Structure 1
Amino acid sequence: MKDVWRAGNDIELLINGEAFFPRVFDSIRKARREVLIETFIIREDEVGKALQQTLMYVARRGVHVEITIDAYGGNEASPAFFQAMADAGVHVHLFEPTRHFFTLRLNVFRRLHRKLVVVDNEVAFIGGINYCADQLSSFGEEAKQDYAVRLRGPVVQDIHQACLDLLRHGETKARPFWRRAKIAKTPGNSTDGTRALLTVRDNGVHKRDIEKYYLNAIHSAKERLVLAHAYFFPSYGLLRALRNAARRGVDVTLILQGEPDMPWVRLCAQLLYGYLMREGVKIYEYNERPFHGKLALADRHWATLGSSNLDPLSLSLNLEANVVVDDEAFNQRLFNHLRTLIREHGEPVSMQVVKRRYWWRMPLIFLSFHFLRHFPAIVGWLPAHAPKLELVSSQKHLWKKPHYDQERA
């Protein structure tokens, strides 16, 4: 699948589960022909059960439904939960079923981290929101701050094709360099509607595509860069690009977790603060609740949002999907929201805090930068096997795995 800018799209920003789940479930209930879903986490709680019931309803109505769930992320749901969907006619696929050594789960890397929904090849959703109750504010203090977008227009066909590629296991062998798809350049100002493209990261043809779009945007930024990420431990190249952007006068702002769901995540990010802040990068820690967003904007037109964190797992191991948007109105809405977020719930990080107990952090900082420099090469030593999907079969009659040699109508 080539990265191509598609013009004439309609895009809607969805903030948190309160906006996301009603839109997704409503679109699924209105489906006439087909529903394709990919997710990292689904739990057997109020949200997971709502999705289950919605999929079972449309499947019984004759809609073709495929849901692919990462077996590691979906480990908390019971086999009976998936079996009920299969018995109703939903094709349930478990991505890379995990092996166990006593109670320890193995093969925890190269996971399906994408969050995609396509309905009738007409409407699509992409972002970082999983199907679990902690994406709702009613969950309490541990409820996540998160984002997705709803899309209509030509880019939906690319998202649809990406889902079909995974169902037929995609192309896992790297092409020769002369046949590899080139990264699409960011277009200039356009008057023909919202431009968008889908970019994915896999372990074959598109190993660094998402990272390259970030680098292109950072290198070309002239006015402002805002990156809001739950997990920030990027490649050395991205760190250097952010530092250099600040050096040349770009207003660079990072919004990171101040109340992390995993404390070690914040510690890793803090090891990088001094390197960036000495060149003028501004860092805010969001403190209202755990921040789970994965979004960025550059200047007045470019923005991206999706499943990819800026950490070694997302940039070098997991299957990820982002949408890149070239639209001034969307960029400005995102900027206004993030500015309000840090004004109301953000704590600016000061150099005084960064320098505190710097002496004992120095060895960790040194090791972190060498890790980030060499991690992609280390990952290259690990085998990138073809992804395995296991179909949950119906107890009523054995469902045969659909063939996707041709795209469904």
Structure 2
Amino acid sequence: MNFDYTPKVHALREKLLAFFDAHIYPNERAFAAEIAKNRAAGNAWIPTRLIEDLKEQARAAGLWNLFLPASGRGAGLTNLEYAPLCEIMGRVPWAPEVFNCSAPDTGNMETIERYGTDAQKAQWLEPLLRGEIRSAFLMTEPEVASSDATNIRCSIVRDGDSYVIDGHKWWSSGAGDPRCKVYIVMGKTDPQAPKHAQQSMILVPADASGITVHRPLNVFGYDDAPHGHMDITLEHVRVPATNMLLGEGRGFEIAQGRLGPGRIHHCMRLIGLAERALELMTKRTLERVAFGKPIAQHGVTQERIAEARIMIEQARLLTLKAAYMMDTAGNKAARGEIAMIKVVAPNVACQVIDWAIQAHGAGGVSDDFPLAYAYAAARTLRLADGPDEVHRNAIAKLEIGKYAAARE
């Protein structure tokens, strides 16, 4: 396995780092201030002017749609090539949107690219790629344990040339954004089919009759406006039968194709978030004096800095291995590596950010520094796209399977 940067990645990485130094880091407080201003004016749920302006600069710099693998529509990067770029974008939680590389849009675009018809691509993928609209992914439901997606109750029933959808979804990330124009909804088309052939995915316009967005769900007190994680009901929502993705009963097949890249993108970004936390921690401890010497000179601080560096490097290497496996052997063959990194990366990020918060003292838990929000985001990803326990179970089954097959 060769993890060296290609010349193309070297060039893009340098451009991204320069863009962050010029436009992202200097605007962190301005972003928060614009959200606060909109909230004070009575509506936090409008796009920020700052990000819209930065998008034009990113597009002009050739830093646009970097995530989409070779398809002629994006930068044509492999998962391995995208990893160091995604890591940089993850250093500031709101930054990926600037480059049209934020979840859930990336996963939705890859889904439509891979499984959509030409008509579906023309209607939804092209405007998503241009950054003209945004999207949401509706899978999780409040009434059931969604860590087991076979529990899903949302129904998708064929009625002539249409499907009628009824269900209750929540944690529908991105659905609070007024630019969100399409949902990918997972539901059951045939409850009597085999366990993993009951579910389907369908494209639903966000303004379809029968959709009610009830409220945003807060994450440790953050509502993530104008993005949001919404509580949504769909009551007798009727969409054309041509909106079905791939075909009835193929929802799990699509989910595996969608969630593999989505999971590893989260991990790439989390490594960037942890790297930023380590940087902030180290700088802070060099500047602050306690008990007669800089905090950086205290043994406990040095131990944490060293351990954080070790953990980040281990997580990065495992992420790169997973990306390499996806590129060379396919997502299915890489499912063990994807599951492992989905456990490792959020836990590493949570620990490193926690140490950084501790090093910042009381300021670390405030919004004067980006660490409290970073922790909330990292902790959430121990649940999003499958909780730690589900991924550990999958890893164990793969490991046990090696020896069970040998015994037989």
Tell me the TM-score normalized by structure 2.
0.22
More helix by percentage: 2
Q: Higher relative contact order at CA 8 Å, sep ≥6: structure 1 or structure 2? A: 1
Tell me the TM-score normalized by structure 1.
0.22
More strand by percentage: 1
